[in-house]
Structure 1
């Protein structure tokens, strides 16, 4: 499908069609290769079965703080965060019965509240998502998490493929196409519990001197090939640099959610560390019906902390992008640039010099000239009190509560001071920034605001180090003679290959 109306001048590969006659299902994440030759299926990780086989009748299963279920409109189980989907078939059948009963009355079920749990429903086309939460998260926050789960599934299959499959076979078992992807969804739900990126709808950048970041971006700008659309440099799940084709229009800008899904996909499998990976991926908020083709390679094996991701619209561009990677490595080596990334120091609250401060989240309203293209945030590394997973989740739960209150649709606020026993929190939203700060428990409101003023001065001073302040662009002409509108069999992936899901 050629999309020149609002997607620049590139040609998108259309979603693959379901092959009814043979009974085979084309992998919509087809042809992921290691080193351009070896099939990624040879580097399969063995997924953890700890939660997959959990007894749904056990007390431990009931005590999980949050359950997430995915099912089809026909009531067929697709995914469960805990427990085996087959064992939960009757439970999911009850969920679908509730959805259908309310729909029969001309309404749509959105949520159910009890003393201890909040049940939130989200229906997207033929798929139904349900969250059963014992946390203090709001209905809106839980629905946002379900939407991320939906987008992660779309990133692997495309929305058009999902809709077409269920139009033809309403009782289709989608697990046949998603087999092996459970840990991608598990990883997404895990990271949403402890990473504020999702709550803030923003990307965290690696702190780096602006001169170093500019040099890295310039190197990425020079290593281009036709149909290359985005180039990313990532370190420890933080964005280091991004450059884009200059014909990317404002209404087709990259969203933070797409980057979160991309980061999670890479983080979910160690197979990405085995060599050069070539795989289709859909970015749902950019275009939910078509694929980019992602070239993924780590630049610092065996540590595998610095990752290069190149997104192209040409499914045959693997070797061209491998050549781009070679040029980038040569330029990095000539300037010892990789060391700038691997050796850059992260920062802690102790480096800031603000009394009583334990942690903070800061999201500016304007960093880039066109800030909407890349919303960003910064926060210090966790101190000793918040090093464990439980403590990190506890702190983020407090932030979520403040975020929900300050962004309330019925009663939005500008400033909240809240004492939470072990810590005191202050949320502050202005036209220029959004701030959530955690202090020691006995600080007064006046002192907290005074300390935040000092913090804002420090952030302003360090702004160019903490954020990407420019989005470099390059020009890349499409490859002549190639068209993704050709729906012939030659453009389809090998239906016998399990595609990117074989990495998982």
Structure 2
């Protein structure tokens, strides 16, 4: 990807291509140091290794709530969430036979339903994705999850490269190119089970006083270099600040899904000290080209505050590393990392809303640029939802409400649902969507009344909970306004 200086706009071109012969692509993923043991060229952690060695005919394998399989049109296994792909090759062959049989009739297989399972298919180019789920998720929700898996693969290889390889060799084993990526895909599927950001198609921001956030953004704005497109500051997997080159939005918008993939790639990395320089494709921004991501933690050994700088120049490592050095100096001079470290996460007890246990709130409009970066907020989980099992159970309830209220056949504005352990209310207006969890005996009238109080609290705290403006900078040459010589230019 290149930026055309004479036009002052961004021109995207495929910078590098994957090769069947070498199985390599620029700054191979192995350099990202994904942790864990080797499994036929993949890196996996101890739990992932146990899942990989799981006997596919065992009861434990059958009892997993959701399986995900990826294979090629030729039936070649590429990935399985549980069990070894080689041991599952015959199973994947049956899946591909189903796909081919339906295609022969001029149709595409979408889903299969049984009493206990939903099987969903997604075909993207030469790749086939299959989800076998025992959850209450809808077909559309499962298909969106498969789409995220596809986008994560594209983020590492690019769509153009995948298509080109399979055009040349339909039986190509894509695992040769996905070296080190199994931990990334495992992590993505794990986080989708417990993180509502995927369901809401939004990012969660770190609560921070607007003055502190603005000061951090200003520092990022000043540390720039040609071909730097985005600068992100992340803390505890929450977005603290994002600044971008002015002309980027003229070409495309930054989507939450792309940020989710980027965050997941960082989570899968084992590095702490030092830095990573790796290619990454943002599929919803441009699915055929790479950005080059500079990733470094600013607070080792805690490693909670992460700086991500995205450049379009693969040779810009040292220039971008210099930006990081300037940012560190500015942070140190203002003691800025303490602003992040001292930020107060909030709990429902801080809000004084009766009987409220938890909520998800996504505004439809925070600011003019909100449509470029949808955001949401939620309190920390408290007693009753702190275990992973209970978190997933609550999110399953939210997902069910989300599917019902956004039904394509019968969309709703308000749903009141009394479950065994809690009462839930979903509320969608032109200004927001909210999903709230109350104690079991709360009435509909009382729940709506309490949510009105919650909305007032959110409005009061809006500047702290959300990024309310997206700072921009320019790396394109601009005419020097202090000079009458139109040929005299400078870089801001």
With the length of structure 1 as denominator, give the TM-score of the two structures.
Answer: 0.90
Map Cα deviations across residues 83-141 of structure 1 (whole Å, 9 max, x no partner): 00000000000000000000000000000000000000000000000000000000000
Inter-CA distance 18–435: structure 2 relative to 1 (3 Å threshold): closer
Map Cα deviations across residues 43-67 of structure 1 (whole Å, 9 max, x no partner): 9978841101100010010000000
Residue 276 of structure 1 deviates from its aligned partner by: 1.0
Distance 1:349 1:241 in 2: 25
Structure 1: gaps (5+ residues):
489-500
Q: Contact (CA 8 Å) 2:253, 2:285: kept in 1 or not?
A: yes
Residue 17 of structure 1 deviates from its aligned partner by: 3.2
Q: Where in structure 2 are the equivalents of 1:471-486 lying within 5 Å?
A: 471-477=470-476
Residue 9 of structure 1 deviates from its aligned partner by: 2.1
Inter-CA distance 478–53: structure 2 relative to 1 (3 Å threshold): farther
Inter-CA distance 8–42: structure 2 relative to 1 (3 Å threshold): farther
Q: Secondary structure at the match of 2:9?
A: coil
Inter-CA distance 54–47: structure 2 relative to 1 (3 Å threshold): closer
Inter-CA distance 21–427: structure 2 relative to 1 (3 Å threshold): closer
Distance 1:294 1:141 in 2: 30
Distance 1:252 1:332 in 2: 31
Q: Secondary structure at the match of 1:49?
A: helix
Q: Contact (CA 8 Å) 2:2, 2:312: kept in 1 or not?
A: no
Q: Secondary structure at the match of 1:152?
A: helix
Match of 1:492 in 2: none
Map Cα deviations across residues 439-484 of structure 1 (whole Å, 9 max, x no partner): 0000000000000000000000000000000000001128999999
Greater alpha carbon shift after TM alignment, 272-281 vs 339-348: 272-281
Residue 179 of structure 1 deviates from its aligned partner by: 2.6
Is 1:335 the counterpart of 2:340? The answer is: no
Residue 372 of structure 1 deviates from its aligned partner by: 1.0
Residue 273 of structure 1 deviates from its aligned partner by: 1.6
Residue 271 of structure 1 deviates from its aligned partner by: 2.9
Map Cα deviations across residues 184-236 of structure 1 (whole Å, 9 max, x no partner): 00000000000000000000000000000000000000000000000000000
Q: Contact (CA 8 Å) 2:221, 2:472: kept in 1 or not?
A: yes
Distance 1:266 1:423 in 2: 35
Greater alpha carbon shift after TM alignment, 177-186 vs 395-404: 177-186
Inter-CA distance 235–40: structure 2 relative to 1 (3 Å threshold): farther
Inter-CA distance 343–475: structure 2 relative to 1 (3 Å threshold): same
Map Cα deviations across residues 323-376 of structure 1 (whole Å, 9 max, x no partner): 111111111111111100011010000000000000000000001212211100
Distance 1:22 1:329 in 2: 38
Greater alpha carbon shift after TM alignment, 306-315 vs 29-38: 29-38
Q: Contact (CA 8 Å) 2:275, 2:294: kept in 1 or not?
A: yes
Q: Contact (CA 8 Å) 2:356, 2:436: kept in 1 or not?
A: yes
Residue 261 of structure 1 deviates from its aligned partner by: 0.3
Inter-CA distance 34–129: structure 2 relative to 1 (3 Å threshold): closer
Q: Contact (CA 8 Å) 2:420, 2:440: kept in 1 or not?
A: yes
Q: Where in structure 2 are the equivalents of 1:325-364 lying within 5 Å?
A: 325-364=324-363
Distance 2:289 2:29 in 1: 11
Aligned residues: 491
Map Cα deviations across residues 368-401 of structure 1 (whole Å, 9 max, x no partner): 2122111000000000110000000000000000
Distance 2:478 2:45 in 1: 36
Q: Contact (CA 8 Å) 1:33, 1:40: kept in 2 or not?
A: no
Structure 2: gaps (5+ residues):
none
Distance 1:103 1:186 in 2: 30
With the length of structure 2 as denominator, give the TM-score of the two structures.
Answer: 0.92
Residue 249 of structure 1 deviates from its aligned partner by: 2.3
Inter-CA distance 317–441: structure 2 relative to 1 (3 Å threshold): same
Q: Contact (CA 8 Å) 1:293, 1:312: kept in 2 or not?
A: yes
Q: Contact (CA 8 Å) 2:477, 2:490: kept in 1 or not?
A: no
Match of 1:121 in 2: 121
Greater alpha carbon shift after TM alignment, 283-292 vs 470-479: 470-479
Two-structure CA RMSD over aligned residues (Å): 6.2
Q: Contact (CA 8 Å) 2:357, 2:438: kept in 1 or not?
A: yes
Greater alpha carbon shift after TM alignment, 45-54 vs 93-102: 45-54
Q: Where in structure 2 are the equivalents of 1:105-504 lying within 5 Å?
A: 105-250=105-250, 252-268=252-268, 270-477=269-476
